[in-house]
Amino acid sequence: ATGAALPPLTAASFVLADLDSGAILAARAPHARHRPASTIKVLTALAAVRDLDPDAVVAGTPEDMRTDGSKAGLGPGGQYTVRQLLAGLLLNSGNDTAAALARAHGGDAAMVARMDELAHELGALDTRPATPSGLDAPGLSSSAYDLALLYRVAMREPLFAETIATRSVAFP
């Protein structure tokens, strides 16, 4: 509510923005750069939604199973649509699905280049992607301002919005 005091906050940086207008309602160090971890997957998802056919099929690989961190459960030889990979990326924070989407996009370097291009195109100038999954790598950073901006843009993409509104999905 207008004029209401913020609750005690311990976050070093945050942005609270209106989803429709983008108006900043509250912020602390909005442009401070931090390691975004899996929240950078919003750029991976945007690249996939904008550039890949959601019904295209991507094969799982043994490397997907060996990916560090959280996984959706890709198996070698498994066949997954881009739509299914997006569900694993966004609902389970699957680093294996980030790897598969990057492969479908031409590989990690091509995906990171596209993520960087999208960040600049959208005005997310504090963002430096380094991996499709958000696993730590030299130079990886973003700000609370940029993440709020990127998620606002992503929510306008019907497939992204539909995917994150899904309560659960049977992942093959």
Cα Rg of the chain (Å, integer): 16
Q: Judge whether 21 counts as a catalytic residue.
A: no
What distance in Å separates the CA atoms of residue 159 and residue 90, rounded to the nearest whole number?
11
**Residue tagged active-site, from 13, 21, 41, 168:** 41
Structure tokens belonging to residue 61:
């690989």
Of 38, 133, 142, 143, the active-site residue reads 38
- Catalytic, 133? Answer no
Among residues 93, 133, 142, 143, the one annotated as catalytic is 93
HEC profile of 5-66: CCCCCCCCCEEEECCCCCCEEEEECCCCCECCHHHHHHHHHHHHHHHCCCCCEEECCHHHHC
DSSP 4: P
Task: Give yes or no for a contact between 17 and 23, defined as CB atoms under 8 angstroms apart.
Answer: yes
Q: 38 an active-site residue?
A: yes
Catalytic residues, by residue number, are 38, 41, 93
